[in-house]
Structure 1
Amino acid sequence: MSDANGRWIYSAVNLNDPEPLANRKETILGCVITFLIVSWICVSLRLYVRFKIVRAPGWDDLFVGLYLITMTAGCISICVATNYGLGKHVLLLSVPTIQGFLKAFYVQNATYCSSTAFIKLALLLQYLRVFERGTTIYKITFGLVVFTSLWGFAYSFIAWVPCVPVSTYWDMSSDGKNCYGYGSHYPASFVGTYESHTATNMILDAIILIVPLPLLFKNGATTAARARLIALLSMGCIVLALAAWRLQTIVETQVATYPTRDPTWYGPISILLAALEINAASICASVPIFWPVLSSGWSGIFVTQEVKITHESRYIDDEDRDSLTRSGSMHSRNGSESQISIVESGGARGNKDGKKHYRDSFILRQVDPLRLKDDREQPSAIRGDSIGDEPRKWTKF
């Protein structure tokens, strides 16, 4: 609600409303902490695989790390806000308590804007490692990287600097003349900033979700690969659904200002959905990286050695041929041999020197899709050739 001059006004018309489930402290803490732990596990496994197993970190891992920092700070600020009136009516709170809530919410909102940009850039840069350079889909993805970077910087700046100085944001005595966007004291500017960011965030989520769809119909794709991609797209749909739900709550309550301005009462559902959305997005970005390694390692727990028994028969002379007619208790020294060998099947395979530094052009292109050509790089070891008249298969040394 606002007055004739377009400024905020407060009302007690909602003091008798029943308490929503999302306003309860145990609901907020339970959901936020649980998803935070799951997100940390998934991102940690992703980074471990990239740095320790395949030893091929890229720019996407950098943005996942930045996301992890901002996301953790945002989730902590939500938990802290429950001690400063989050879930209660703002008219029932003291001025120091409201100031404490505004400080916690300032951190939550700013880190959310940054986290959404970081996780989107991580996904797009991850796509660039898969798509062939020079193709249309590669160029589209690169364009999305540029647009998302500008989008994320703009909204993050507005969120981190909503007022000049920033402390004006939680100063209850301020007239708001030096505030704008997320810190504006005028409903039109304030609501418009939140709604525009939430709407564009959801649209970008949808675009990023459909970018890898061509891989689903690519010739030569195995059934297992298609199944994994479908599972990933299903997880992305969950993120998109959470973003759409959050947009609906923001529009319905006009950013916790309708039917009256009560941010601590109407805000919890939108804040909670923001935390769930961004944590679910990190899971989607991490599972495709660590799951193949985890699944192969899991099978190795149960099958560590495979026993292979071979039997060979050979005939050197007539004496050995005659030995075939001997009784079962008589054995020829040269007639047959049995061999038992142990075949390791649970351990790692490949080059024993795991720490060898490669400057192979193919590997460098997968690690850093944005790099310029380096004179020191070696020709790719992935090639096809032929011996004589018989073609050889593609071989990676």
Structure 2
Amino acid sequence: MELPPGVTPAFLAEDRRQPALIGIIFVTTLSFIVVMIRLYVRKFFIRELGWDDYFILMAQLTSWATMGLCIMILHYGSGKHLLALVSKPEELVKMYKWLVATQVVYMFNLWLCRVSGLAFYARLNPMPQFILYLRLSFAFITAVYIAQTMIIALQCIPLSALWGEGTGKCMGSKVVFISTGALTIACDSLILLLPVKIVMGLQAKMARKLALLLVLCFGIFAVVASVLRLIAMIVSVQHPDDATWYFSPVIAWTCAEISAAIIALSLPALRAIFGFLKEHRSKNASYSNSSEPISLDSVSKKKKNRVFHGNNTYEHMTEIDGERSASQEVLWNQDNNQKIRVTDTVRVDVRG
């Protein structure tokens, strides 16, 4: 094949798929590690798995599928110059097919993340008014998910016209990418802003509120990833003569956005680790200083133990059933001010 003027073999050999490949494997593996820690904490520290945990697990499993589809797009040419691929049109066709499949799975993956976030907020705030907000938010993100899927599926009629196996009408890549990307940013921002209402209602010092906001609003990185992905898509659309070269960053930001969302939604659950370490230190201190009451967490469940109180040790044996509250995250104050009180509680049944 005769090369166009100014195009060299070195130019055609350029390839930036490897950095994108390393990036998507790294972020997906990192999110997997975080989710496994989260599930361990929920199961063995908090002793309760909720719907938010099940949805985040499904999101994590789906992210592996998203990663695999992204790898296939890279395999068939994304990250190489378009001129280097024109001699193999069949690979370009396969790349477009994998791209459509990736878009559909990616949208479903993000929907799972958002539903997990809403389920977590429902765990934190069970008040009827806030549950109404969550239901409306669920309806909104589901409607957006359906709209995005329809845009992808109907971007060309018939869809085969997208990869040149037929003739038909197409929306154009610019319309598809920008519309779906903008809707994604809107949904991610909604999930990010919902915790603000929870935290600002806390009966706590401002420093405490800011610390909680920092944890809950870590999802801002998912929004940033969405924005950067949209920017990368716009750059790709602006270079139709070499779109495959500019599309590899889009692939990398696709997986990065999903992984950032999964990690952000898992960080609040990991707070239980720090609570456990704090209680463990308190327990050790109570053994070394008998003037302080022993933590009830140190009493084994359904086992006979001595009961310590003040400076006295009661030598008789008693049976104590100790059980932590189910969520261990927040308890709601049901009086008129309808605010939450952050605390840990135990339920004790003493049979002497």
Structure 2-normalised TM-score? 0.72
- Structure 2 partner of 1:140: 133
- Structure 2 partner of 1:211: 194
Matches within 5 A, 1:213-232: 213-222=196-205, 225-232=208-215
Q: Is structure 2 residue 30 aligned with structure 1 residue 47?
A: no
Contact in 2 for aligned 1:113/1:159 (Cα 8 Å): no
- Structure 2 partner of 1:283: 263
Contact in 2 for aligned 1:128/1:142 (Cα 8 Å): no
| One-letter code aligned to 1:152 | Y
- Structure 1 partner of 2:182: 199
Q: Deviation at 1:276?
A: 1.1
Find 1:266's aligned residue among 246, 251, 259. 246
Deviations 1:261-303 (A, max 9, x none): 44321211222212111110111100101x2222245568888
Contact in 2 for aligned 1:305/1:342 (Cα 8 Å): no
Q: Would the alpha carbon gap of residues 57 and 165 (structure 1) be closer, same or farther in structure 2, given more than 3 Å must change? A: farther
Deviations 1:12-46 (A, max 9, x none): 79968x98xx9622311221111111100111222
Q: CA RMSD in A?
A: 4.0
Matches within 5 A, 1:1-397: 24-93=16-85, 94-135=88-129, 137-156=130-149, 158-159=151-152, 168=160, 172=163, 174-177=165-168, 186=170, 188-222=171-205, 225-251=208-234, 253=235, 256-289=236-269, 291-298=270-277, 305-306=284-285, 307-308=287-288, 351-352=301-302, 396-397=347-348
d(CA) in 2 for partners of 1:13 and 1:61? 57
Deviations 1:188-242 (A, max 9, x none): 4442222111101111212221111123332412566424323225522222222
Deviations 1:324-362 (A, max 9, x none): xxxxxxxxxxxxxxxxx99689x7667459xxxxxxxx9
| One-letter code aligned to 1:248 | I
d(CA) in 2 for partners of 1:175 and 1:165? 7
Moved more, 102-111 or 237-246: 102-111
Q: Would the alpha carbon gap of residues 40 and 349 (structure 1) be closer, same or farther in structure 2, given more than 3 Å must change? A: farther
d(CA) in 2 for partners of 1:15 and 1:123? 49
d(CA) in 1 for partners of 2:6 and 2:102? 25
d(CA) in 1 for partners of 2:6 and 2:182? 28
Structure 1 counterpart SS, 2:165: coil
d(CA) in 2 for partners of 1:120 and 1:395? 32
| One-letter code aligned to 1:249 | A
| One-letter code aligned to 1:60 | D
Structure 1-normalised TM-score? 0.64
Alignment coverage as a number of residue pairs: 306
d(CA) in 1 for partners of 2:300 and 2:280? 19
Structure 1 counterpart SS, 2:288: strand
d(CA) in 1 for partners of 2:194 and 2:290? 50
d(CA) in 2 for partners of 1:220 and 1:23? 55
Q: Which has the larger radius of gyration?
A: 1
d(CA) in 2 for partners of 1:117 and 1:13? 47
Q: Deviation at 1:160?
A: 6.3
d(CA) in 2 for partners of 1:61 and 1:220? 27
- Structure 1 partner of 2:312: none
More helix as a share of residues? 2
Q: Would the alpha carbon gap of residues 162 and 293 (structure 1) be closer, same or farther in structure 2, given more than 3 Å must change? A: same
Q: Would the alpha carbon gap of residues 293 and 198 (structure 1) be closer, same or farther in structure 2, given more than 3 Å must change? A: same
Q: Deviation at 1:73?
A: 0.9
Residue ranges of structure 2 left out of the alignment (5+ in a row): 304-324, 336-344
- Structure 1 partner of 2:317: none
| One-letter code aligned to 1:111 | V
| One-letter code aligned to 2:98 | A
Contact in 2 for aligned 1:64/1:118 (Cα 8 Å): yes
